[in-house]
Amino acid sequence: MPDTTLTINGRQIQAQEGQTVFEVAREAGIRIPTLCHLDGLTNPGSCRVCMVEAVGASRLVPACTTRVSANLVIETNSDRVRDERKRVVEFLFAERNHVCAVCVACGHCELQDLAIEVGMDHVRFDYQHPHLELDFSHHLFGVDHNRCVLCTRCIRVCDEIEGAHTWDLAGWGTDTHVVTDQGIPWGESKTCTSCGKCVQACPTAAIFVKGSTVGESRKHPDEIGFLVKSRENLHCHD
Amino acid sequence: MPRLKFATVWLGGCSGCHMSFLDLDEFLFDIAAIADVVFSPVGTDAKHYPEGVDVCLVEGAVCNEENLAMIKKVRERTRILVSFGDCAVTGNVSAIRNVLPHNVYQVLERAYLDPDNLNPRIPDEPGIVPPLLDKVLPIHAVVPVDVYIPGCPPPASRIKEVLVQILQTGTAQLQGRDLQFG
């Protein structure tokens, strides 16, 4: 039974305590864009794309980690939210080297789609152009840190679903990056099962199947949610 | 109505955006019916960018001293400056060299010395070969830009959409898939 009522974009919506604003909005057919959220995984609230306005709060809050409460009034599409969301996406493009024209994910990239959704026609911030490495040591997959948005989907899917915990974050600030087995080349990893879940979960071409060329990398992130649901069903039958 | 003064400029890019412009096919006749092409690598032999240009499409990033001088002149003399294609809007492939720590020298070394040319030598012709800038920049990092056309290259339909909007309203703002980079 619904046990609380909140307001999203002027609509009274019933929800259950413990649900997030993101979940409730989605059930009500209100789209909140996101990059780090992936069905079946925990929410780190790291990408800041799903920021919404909680009326009365001075700062915007991430919809994916904010729990619903009675009398909460949320705006998901105000001028302020749209401005902020666009700025966040521009920062993502400015931080690393996202050269869509020569990217294996071009045309099938969640970051590229997000830029379209927020109406980004140019980036107002200085591009950082960091010098980043590529890792082609794995026999099936490649890592291109130029395209990484640090959403941590790879880390979470590997830890929470595959149970291998090959991936992790290393470094601080602008030096933060994903690593395999605490920083050794992926191909030398003892924990990686080569299951490819990180490839499917990755929203850009930071992790991809080797041998793909421009525009050929098509991901299936929905498979992660499907897998989790299937497991839940399996447990029901036990 | 006075005829529109229309220009296109080619900075640090591969000319793909201009090839896409030529893909406008019959629409080029419509442009010619209302506009004079006063400067363009594909539309006129004019060597000097004139004063009083109404609309200019600028392809390419700002990569060298010549690009820098040119874009400043274009800005001064143009009412509506259109950043035309991914190199102009983001730096794109032209700006990949920015990741190299000593990018100018490394780029020249790789291009002119590394591959064992018959006569390995970094070109140095003051006044003829323009020196590279330290960093490749998108146009709006150098001068104010009025309209942006993403795409590598932007499809002809996208270029037409912008030109029609400019003719009808004096400016343009692309929407939806027309904003796709790459």
Number of domains in chain B: 1
Report the residue of chain B nearest A104, measured CA to CA: B182
Cα distance between residue A175 and residue A160, in whole Å: 25
pTM over cut 0.90? yes
Q: What is the pLDDT of residue A199?
A: 97
Q: Which of A127, A128, A132, A133 to mutate to test the interface with B (most CBs of B within 10 A)?
A: A127
Report CB contact under 8 Å: A120, B138: no
The residues of A whose Cβ lies within 8 A of any Cβ of B are 93, 97, 99-103, 106-107, 112, 115-116, 119-124, 126-127, 129-132, 146
Contacts of B29 (CB under 8 A, 6+ apart): none
Cα distance between residue A74 and residue A82, in whole Å: 14
Alpha-carbon distance A16 to nearest alpha carbon in chain B (angstroms):
35
Q: What is the pLDDT of residue A237?
A: 64
Please answer whether residues B164 and B152 qualify as being in contact, where contact means their C-beta atoms are separated by less than 8 angstroms: no
Alpha-carbon distance B79 to nearest alpha carbon in chain A (angstroms):
20
Average pLDDT, chain B: 95
Backbone conformation region of residue A56, classed left if phi is above 0, alpha if psi is from -120 to 50, else beta: left
Cross-strand partners of B79: none
Range of the domain at B12: 4-97+133-179
Note whether residue B117 is domain-resident.
no
B100: which chain A residues are within 8 Å (Cβ-Cβ)?
A: 131
Which amino acid is located at A141 in the chain?
F
Cα distance between residue A85 and residue A97, in whole Å: 20
Burial of B1 (0-12, 13-18, 19+ CB in 10 A): exposed
Q: Residue ranges of the alpha helices (H) in chain A?
A: 21-27, 79-95, 110-117, 153-156, 197-201, 222-237
Contacts of A160 (CB under 8 A, 6+ apart): A41, A42
Report CB contact under 8 Å: B92, A99: yes
Query: Where residue B61 sits, what CATH number does that domain have?
Result: 3.40.50.700
Q: What is the pLDDT of residue A70?
A: 87
Alpha-carbon distance A212 to nearest alpha carbon in chain B (angstroms):
16
Cα distance between residue A26 and residue A85, in whole Å: 18
Contacts of B73 (CB under 8 A, 6+ apart): B49
Interface ipTM > 0.95:
no
Report CB contact under 8 Å: A100, B145: no
Report the residue of chain B nearest A118, measured CA to CA: B176
Contacts of A172 (CB under 8 A, 6+ apart): none
Cα distance between residue A179 and residue A182, in whole Å: 6
Q: Which of B101, B177, B179 sits opposite A121 (nearest CB)?
A: B179
Beta strand ranges found along chain A (DSSP E): 4-8, 11-15, 51-54, 61-62, 73-75, 134-135, 141-144, 167-170, 177-180, 207-209
User: ω before B41 within 30° of 0 (cis)?
Assistant: no
Note whether residue B114 is domain-resident.
no
| Among candidate residues B85, B100, B104, the one with its CA nearest the CA of residue B13 | B85
The per-residue pLDDT for range B43-101, each reduced to its tens digit, is 999 999 999 999 999 999 999 999 999 999 999 999 999 999 999 999 999 999 999 98
Structural domains of chain A in order of their starting residue, each with its CATH number: 4-77 (3.10.20.740), 85-237 (3.30.70.20)
Report the residue of chain B nearest A122, measured CA to CA: B89
Q: Which of A93, A118, A122, A213 to mutate to test the interface with B (most CBs of B within 10 A)?
A: A122
| Among candidate residues B67, B65, B48, the one with its CA nearest the CA of residue B10 | B67
Q: What is the pLDDT of residue B46?
A: 96
Alpha-carbon distance B125 to nearest alpha carbon in chain A (angstroms):
29
A177: phi then psi, degrees, rounded to nearest 5: -155, 160
Q: Which residues of chain A have pLDDT under 50?
A: none
Note whether residue B21 is domain-resident.
yes
Q: What is the pLDDT of residue A1?
A: 52
Note whether residue B109 is domain-resident.
no
Report CB contact under 8 Å: B99, A99: no
Cα distance between residue A124 and residue A121, in whole Å: 10
Note whether residue B110 is domain-resident.
no
Note whether residue B112 is domain-resident.
no
Q: How confident is the model at residue B110 (pLDDT cuts 50, 70, 90)?
A: confident
Alpha-carbon distance B2 to nearest alpha carbon in chain A (angstroms):
31
Q: Which residues of A63-82 are buried (b: 16+ CB within 10 A; e: fewer)?
A: bbbbebeeebebbbeeeebe
Start-to-end Cα distance in chain A: 26
Report CB contact under 8 Å: B180, A116: yes
The per-residue pLDDT for range A73-94, each reduced to its tens digit, is 999 999 999 999 999 999 999 9
Alpha-carbon distance A135 to nearest alpha carbon in chain B (angstroms):
17
Please answer whether residues A80 and A86 qualify as being in contact, where contact means their C-beta atoms are separated by less than 8 angstroms: no
Note whether residue B18 is domain-resident.
yes
Q: Which two tokens stand for residue A204?
A: 């850009």
Note whether residue B173 is domain-resident.
yes
Q: Which of A116, A132, A134, A204 to mutate to test the interface with B (most CBs of B within 10 A)?
A: A116
Report CB contact under 8 Å: A122, B140: yes
Report the residue of chain A nearest B153, measured CA to CA: A101
Alpha carbon B2 to its chain's center: 26
